[in-house]
Structure 1
Amino acid sequence: MSTPVTDFPLLSGAEFVELYKVLKVQGLVDGGGAAKHVITEGLVKVNNEVDTRKRKKCVVGDVIEFNGEQIKIVATA
């Protein structure tokens, strides 16, 4: 059974969103500090690889995985 993927639309005109902001906005952590902590601890994957860069620029097509959740960065319609 596969994990459902939640879409995260970029703001209109934006080319990327920082990794910690995705976790924070999606409500997967209590705030920005907690997001940065779980990223630094190696608990977050981007495109199936652990990424410890808090301010990694996530672009359309990137898939973020944390705590059994998957979020895909998509373009705003």
Structure 2
Amino acid sequence: MSEPVDVPITGEPIRLGQFLKLAGLAEDGSHAKDLIDAEEVTVNGEVETRRGRQLTDGDVVAVGPDRGKVVLVR
């Protein structure tokens, strides 16, 4: 599994669907919804099925081998 790519965010928390788009793990909101509905998204190693899940600094989101880490920029 690859190292997660740091994805800086300026406001915390961020919703899972928004993060997937920002991190480039989903093409758009519809794609993010499809990935989540298909249970292909994990947060900190656990399958997540809530698109509105609130992510905070340090959370790691994965879609297949691709991973992004929430990094809060202050």
Task: State TM-score, norm by structure 2.
Answer: 0.89
Q: Partner of 1:7: helix, strand, or coil?
A: strand
Q: CA RMSD of the aligned region, Å?
A: 1.3
Q: Identity of counterpart residues, as a percentage?
A: 32
Residue in 2 that maps onto 1:46: 43
Q: Which structure's CA Rg is the greater one?
A: 1
Residue in 2 that maps onto 1:67: 64
**Aligned length, in residue pairs:** 74
Could you tell me how far apart the structure 2 residues matched to 1:74 and 1:29 are?
18
Runs of 4+ in 1 over 4 A off after TM superposition: none
Could you tell me how far apart the structure 1 residues matched to 2:7 and 2:23 are?
8
Residue in 2 that maps onto 1:15: 12
Could you tell me how far apart the structure 1 residues matched to 2:22 and 2:70 are?
13
Could you tell me how far apart the structure 2 residues matched to 1:25 and 1:55 are?
14
Task: State TM-score, norm by structure 1.
Answer: 0.86
Residue in 2 that maps onto 1:76: 73
